[in-house]
Amino acid sequence: DTGVSQDPRHKITKRGQNVTFRCDPISEHNRLYWYRQTLGQGPEFLTYFQNEAQLEKSRLLSDRFSAERPKGSFSTLEIQRTEQGDSAMYLCASSLTGLIEAFFGQGTRLTVV
């Protein structure tokens, strides 16, 4: 297994369009996290899954954001009606239950123009 992979690596979209990102975690990891990182800031927690169940959502995750992990494997993060403020790096991480260690993907950089 080569680690956590995210697709695409870069996405440029026009304001108002919808975008979807994909994350493939390390295969035996049952926890999957999404974070958002803006320029000059640390990653901010958005949401996490244990298997297919979404256990927590940050208040940063507005109604325009939705995340799924339908079969407890890969996950998607969708942003509807994108705004310029959504421009950021979106990071995915996975871990085994218990938060012993989280492994991060290389992220998807979103630019909304």
Partner 1 sequence: AQSVTQPDIHITVSEGASLELRCNYSYGATPYLFWYVQSPGQGLQLLLKYFSGDTLVQGIKGFEAEFKRSQSSFNLRKPSVHWSDAAEYFCAVGRDDKIIFGKGTRLHILP
Among candidates 111, 100, 44, 46, which has minimal Cα distance to 75?
Answer: 46
CA dihedral 34, 52, 79, 11 (to 10 degrees): 60
CB-nearer residue toward partner 1: 20 or 50: 50
Nearer to partner 1, 18 or 51 (CB): 51
In the complex, the smallest distance separating the C-beta of residue 16 from partner 1, rounded to whole angstroms, is: 26
Cβ at position 81, least distance to partner 1 in Å = 27
Q: Which stretch binds partner 1 (CB under 8 A): 19-27, 41-49, 67-75, 78-86?
A: 41-49
Judge whether 79 and 17 are in contact, CB under 8 Å. no
- Which of 19, 23, 93, 110 contacts partner 1 by CB under 8 A? 93
Pairing of strands 5-7, 19-24: antiparallel
- CB neighbourhood size of 111 (10 A): 13
Q: Is 7 in the site for partner 1 (CB under 8 A)?
A: no
Tell me which of 65, 67, 69, 107 binds partner 1, using CB under 8 A: 107
